[in-house]
Structure 1
């Protein structure tokens, strides 16, 4: 599988069309993993009682797979609204660190471009675009951040996410439990690929390990989905604690 750190860089390709082709080539392997994942989410959401319109709106407007899976896992009657809101915030709080890492590369862009662009920032588009910007910067490209590259990835992942989530909601009742086909394994597979692409040293992976240990411990000791915010908070604290170190 093509990993983020092996994205080919053609310094002469500055047009939107060329950058779009480059982004498509880089993102298609990940897209193939996101499609079944979106279908699993859509099927689970439909099983919890969400309509097709509600599934489309949730995946299209919230657009954050981790928090959506967490919310659907908590979706019961009566609906624990406060818990879902808190869980969504904690799971999505990693975007604060992601945005901070990307900020130096997008300072030259006007706010009317930056704010809409950040809506499409998910783990996959962020990882690819950040590593691409670092690669371009190392080769002396100015600006280092390629907006067409980022925009193409964002459009690919966003449209595919809510489209196939809706398709999963439609086909779920017909096919049955999509998880039995192993589709749910796409989620950890994508993140393992992204982590591998961003791997520099073992020290850089310490916050991930802290998050894993905290989430696993809470999952074994505390009933419910509290392992999700536990892992998120532990990872954020660890990342903040080690932020000043040279990794």
Structure 2
């Protein structure tokens, strides 16, 4: 597959299409934004602090985790450690996108990564396995998810009591089901099946045996190391 130019990777028409493509997922993101807005106010953040955090951080799990450490005297080092541990998977996600990202100028490359989430990374990864370089879903899909997260936070700090517990309605499973559908829709081979199996089993074991949130990193590393060691056989040239 020949490398695409930067203009091809981020065509405005493609960005708009990917924005709409992830709009259904964004509707569920709004619900969790509402829950975060409510939880942040209950934890002692002001409305503008909660909204500013969602605008600039844009990391749902990390933002919820920081609320557990929030108080009159915020301990900065544990706060940074928790956020880094939860978001460390983005290091591997960004590395997986490097074959496409390297075609962009540095400023655009790192700017687009601000909008990287599990959902748009999964779509981009699946498309890449199927022979399509699709950075437009990182930009367009990430933008609609960011807008949904911020809008949900704004609504939550104002009317958050309407959706205090998304898990009660099973909404916490939406993203997991979406990511599973991306995995099942990707390339199928014994190699890919074994990689996902090792990653899944490692994550489950780490969930029960290691500190909170480390299962995400352990699963990603286990699958990534196996994938690196077991190179995919390429036919032709």
Normalization by structure 1: what TM-score?
A: 0.76
CA RMSD of aligned residues (A): 2.5
Q: Which whole-Å CA distance do the structure 1 matches of 2:85 and 2:225 have between them?
A: 18
Once the two structures are TM-superposed, the CA of residue 232 in structure 1 deviates from its matched residue by 3.4
Q: Which whole-Å CA distance do the structure 1 matches of 2:90 and 2:167 have between them?
A: 31
| Residue from 200, 204, 225 that aligns with 1:208 | 200
Once the two structures are TM-superposed, the CA of residue 83 in structure 1 deviates from its matched residue by 1.8
Gap runs ≥5 in structure 1 = 1-13, 138-143, 219-225
Q: Across the two proteins, how many residue pairs are aligned to each other? A: 215
Alignment of 1:71 onto 2:56: no
1:64-143 alignment runs, 5 A limit:
64-76=59-71, 78-137=73-132
Consecutive aligned runs of 4 or more in structure 1 exceeding 4 Å deviation: none
- 1:40 corresponds in structure 2 to 35
Once the two structures are TM-superposed, the CA of residue 240 in structure 1 deviates from its matched residue by 4.6
CA contact (8 A) 1:90 1:232 kept: no
Q: Which whole-Å CA distance do the structure 2 matches of 1:131 and 1:240 have between them?
A: 16
Partner SS for 1:182:
helix
Alignment of 1:16 onto 2:1: no
CA contact (8 A) 2:122 2:179 kept: yes
Once the two structures are TM-superposed, the CA of residue 241 in structure 1 deviates from its matched residue by 3.6
CA contact (8 A) 1:59 1:162 kept: yes
Normalization by structure 2: what TM-score?
A: 0.79
Partner SS for 1:150:
helix
- 2:178 corresponds in structure 1 to 193
- After superposition, give the CA deviation of every residue in 1:214-241 in whole Å (9 maximum; x if it has no partner): 12334xxxxxxx412x323422442354
Gap runs ≥5 in structure 2 = 1-9, 233-237
- After superposition, give the CA deviation of every residue in 1:7-47 in whole Å (9 maximum; x if it has no partner): xxxxxxx9523x24431342022112211111111111111
Q: Which whole-Å CA distance do the structure 2 matches of 1:233 and 1:15 have between them?
A: 33
Partner SS for 2:165:
helix
- 1:62 corresponds in structure 2 to 57
Q: Which whole-Å CA distance do the structure 2 matches of 1:45 and 1:193 have between them?
A: 27
| Residue from 46, 53, 65 that aligns with 2:48 | 53
Q: Does the C-alpha gap of structure 1 residues 38 and 80 become closer, same or farther in structure 2, counting only changes over 3 Å?
A: same
Partner SS for 2:230:
coil
- After superposition, give the CA deviation of every residue in 1:132-155 in whole Å (9 maximum; x if it has no partner): 344353xxxxxx3343x4321121
